[in-house]
A and B are shown apart, each in its own frame.
Chain A
Amino acid sequence: MANKVLMKGNEAIAEAAMIAGCRHYFGYPITPQSELPAYLAKHMPKRNGVFLQAESEVAAINMVYGSGGTGVRVMTSSSSPGISLKQEGISYIACAEVPCLIVNVVRGGPGLGNIAPAQCDYFQAVKGGGHGDYKLVVLSPSSVQEMADFTVLAFDLADKYRTPVMLLSDGYLGQMMEPVEMPDASNIKKYDKPWATTGAVGRHQNLISSIHLVPEDMEKHIHHLYEKYAEIEKNELIYEEYQCADAEYVMVAYGITARICKTACVMAREQGIKLGLLRPKTLWPFPKQPLAKLAGSKNVKGFIAVELSTGQMIEDVKLSVNGVKPVEFFGRTGGVVPSPNEVLLNVKKLFSLK
């Protein structure tokens, strides 16, 4: 393994963003994502980049709107309460089709909550978050390596589809250190952006806007967005199946929780329980067909959504399984993270296994 370095997840995102060609960052301080802006504040100037600490999350996301509209690769990062503040801007960005990366290092909520790891912003991330009919592409890393890899992927998808992409991480992944191999800068794709507001040299106006006053025009634009989303669903779904081939019980978990569930799978097998794991790497698009396929398999007796929330992703699991097999839930919330043993004990209890 060439050039592995030990890094925090938050720093891995920052370094990978610069490798992806991002030279514009706008953000506002919040825990537990602080290492990310600190890293960029230190390294952006050395690479002729812009690091700007805004007066608020609201201002930061609107700077991203302006900056992304000029065609440069741009990002912001925050944590749950800060992401709530950015939602108005994210809605505008989605409507105006401004490519950008939004990182959410999720913490316990609602309200001011705490700064411990959580997955309680799933609904906000995948169901819209802001006002209106739109979607975000939502990527869910479960290691420091994926924090880096998915950052590069996020910028690529944002440009490819001219759409905002969210990296939905958590306080655990942001803070933990793991060896990581940085992505190769020579593999970064560049996209033409003839729509960008760079000054109308030899052409008429380019416009970045989200207003469509005539209802029929608005409807047409929303349909355009949803045609794009259909393409993304068709082409960009990624997920991992772990010990699913002969599994009788399948856990569905993402992010740090999927790591815990993997260990629970190994422990279960030692006890003769055929436990598998389906891990969405994209939360939107969601692995609907792979889950439906597993639901149709003779081996599978049931599913368990495992989340650091009171149960949000489980709704998408249920929609995918569509009543074919039972779907149970186990989760801890408010910043509490279960151990693999606790997960396994609850799987056994839910399905009355010995």
Chain B
Amino acid sequence: MNDKEKLLEEVKTMKKVASRPKCLTDRVFHYCPGCTHGVVHRLVAETIDELGIQEKTIGVAPVGCSVFAYWYFDTDFSQAAHGRAPAVATGIKRSVPGSVVFTYQGDGDLAAIGTAEIIHAANRGEKITVIFINNAIYGMTGGQMAPTSLINQKTQTSPYGRDSETMGYPIRVSEMLSGLEGVKYLSRVAVDTPANIIKAKAAIKKAFETQLTGTGFSMVEVLSICPTDWGLNVADSKKWLKENMIPYYPLQEFKAPKAEEAKGGE
């Protein structure tokens, strides 16, 4: 037996502890090296698998880096105009009430051009789940200032740093939505460390479970990194997220269904 044959024999005896989620397609992500979209895609896919809802899940892709999110999920999908994903999701959910509908949106899409749609979908208590990727920058268009860009953050369109005097303040979307009655699950997580990724997964699962109870709107804000447009390597990006984003956007569960509500099925 040579080394390779030995290794193959060993593999046969190994226990498989992790594999590609069933509803994630076998396609290589188009995202930049170090981007955390891939991590969040996987967390959503694992959740869909674990809840056994692949056949009734309909995703809505945004405009932004994740415009092609539908390449990676083997579920039905609709590709929405910039910012309109919550409206498209509303149309889908109201037409197929038994479905599980989620949108996947970035900060430009959700917190700038789509502000009206997200607020009113949340306020109507639409029974959808929103995965909100907050990386404080426009990624796909090449690194412009986002509504969530931090004060003094340098971007292509704030080359001297974000100045609150002329550019306003970073929007805390989750805090803003937390006051709305229709919102039943709302959490802010981060994907900068393994521990935070585990917490993010738990939050995403709770959000989908909330949708399954049919009680109202659910959203998870995921603080993410954009090494390419931040101009940092991955390690420094994670550090930047921890030292700059988390203090301004504290990680917390804003709203969750009470224990007895969470148990109720559809």
**What is A's interface to B at a CB cutoff of 8 Å?**
24, 26, 50, 52, 54-56, 58-60, 62-72, 74, 88-89, 92, 96, 197-202, 204-211
Contact = CB atoms under 8 A, between A and B. Distances in A.
A24 B70 contact: no
Nearest to B88: A66
A207 B90 CA distance: 17
Contact of A70 (B57, B70, B96): B96
Interface stretch (B79-87, B178-186, B241-249): B79-87
Nearest to A93: B81
B76 interface: yes
Given A26-B91, A63-B91, A201-B55, 10 more contacts: A24-B94, A55-B116, A55-B119, A59-B117, A66-B89, A71-B95, A197-B92, A198-B96, A205-B76, A206-B77
A253 to B, nearest CB: 36
A58 B94 CA distance: 17
A207 B95 contact: no
B78 A199 contact: no
Given A52-B94, A59-B117, A62-B87, A207 B79 contact: yes
Contacts of A50: 94-95
B56 interface: yes
B117 to A, nearest CB: 5
Which has the most chain A C-beta neighbours within 10 Å: B61, B70, B74, B88?
Answer: B88
B48 to A, nearest CB: 11
B58 interface: yes
A62 B74 contact: no
A66 B78 contact: yes
Contacts of B76: 197-200, 205-207
Nearest to B54: A200
B99 interface: yes
B67 A56 contact: no
B94 A67 contact: yes
B99 A199 contact: yes
B95 A205 contact: no
B158 interface: no
B60 interface: yes
Interface of B: 54-58, 60-61, 67-68, 70, 73-81, 84, 87-92, 94-96, 98-99, 116-117, 119-120
B95 A62 contact: no
Q: Which 8 A-B pairs have the closest CB atoms?
A: A66-B91, A67-B91, A66-B88, A63-B91, A62-B87, A209-B79, A55-B120, A62-B84
A197 B58 contact: yes
A7 B216 CA distance: 38
A54 B120 contact: yes
B79 to A, nearest CB: 4
Contacts of A55: 116-117, 119-120
Name, among B75, B95, B120, the residue most crowded by chain A CB atoms within 10 Å (CB to CB).
B95
A214 to B, nearest CB: 13
Contacts of B55: 199-202
A67 B126 CA distance: 14
A66 B54 contact: no
Contacts of B91: 24, 26, 62-70, 74
Given A65-B91, A66-B89, A207-B70, A88 B81 contact: yes
A59 B114 CA distance: 9
B81 A72 contact: no
A205 B23 CA distance: 10
Contacts of A210: 79
- Which of B55, B61, B91 has the largest count of A CB atoms less than 10 A from its CB? B91
A186 B55 CA distance: 33
B90 A200 contact: no
Contacts of A208: 77-79
Given A62-B87, A62-B88, A207-B76, A199 B57 contact: yes
A211 B117 contact: no
Contacts of B96: 70, 197-199
A63 B87 contact: yes
Contacts of A24: 91, 94-95
A6 B34 CA distance: 66
Given A67-B91, A69-B92, A89 B78 contact: no
Contacts of B68: 211
Interface centre among B70, B76, B90, B92 (most CB of A within 10 A): B76
Contacts of A209: 61, 70, 77-79
Nearest to B98: A199
B78 A207 contact: yes
A202 B98 CA distance: 16
